[in-house]
Structures are given as structure tokens and as C-alpha cells.
Homo-oligomer: A and B are copies of this chain.
Amino acid sequence: MRFLVHPSREDLSLPTILYALGDPVRLQMVAELAQASESEEKMACHDFLVGEAVAKSTLSFHFKALREAGLVRMVPQGRRMQVTLRREDLEIRFPGLLEKILLTYQQK
């Protein structure tokens, strides 16, 4: 099984987080994950609505960018890859930031 690197909570960096969210596709992915986490729904890579509009390879690239920035956690579950938003880590590291960005995204 591939080993997936996730930065620790302490290593989350503000410019890196902003850079990762500075792309329309990634922003939508994070918004979908936030919505899923509110309804305690589990998401796998192929569940994303935004995935219908972009190539699979593009989506993989964006998942990697989000994971390496520390926004999402990716855990292999058999043949699926479960994806969760690292909401708690982000909230502890940068209180209120992600929620503010998501709210701004919804109101745009």
C-alpha cells in the first residue's frame, strides 16, 4: 500500500493553505467535503461532484495538493480512498479561518 504523507497539525502553514484553496476546483472540493462532514457522510475520491467536470488525472493532482497542504486526510479503504477534511486540525491551528473562507465561498 502506498504511504501517503500528511503534514502534522503544527506544520500547517498559512500561505500553503491559502495557495491550496486558491484554485476554483480545489475550493469546490473542500466545500463538498465540508458539506459531507456536516452530515457525517464519508466521501471517496470518486464521489466528488466537481469530478464530473474535470479529468480524473486533474482530480488526482488536486487531491495531492490538498493533502500535502494539510487540508484533507486520505485513507485507503480497500479499493477506495476515503477523503476527509482536516477541520479540527485547521480550526486549532488557524481558528475560524476555514469557516470564514467556506462562508465567503457559499455567498459568492
Give the interface of A toward B (CB within 8 A).
14-24, 26-27, 94-97, 100-101, 104-105, 108
Contact = CB atoms under 8 A, between A and B. Distances in A.
A104 B23 contact: no
A18 B15 contact: no
**Most B Cβ at <10 Å: residue of A18, A19, A94, A97:** A18
> How many copies of this chain does the complex contain?
2
A71 to B, nearest CB: 12
Nearest to A17: B22
A22 B27 contact: no
Contact of A15 (B15, B27, B95): B27
Contact of A22 (B22, B96, B100): B22
Contacts of A96: 100
B18 A101 contact: yes
Contacts of A100: 96-97, 100
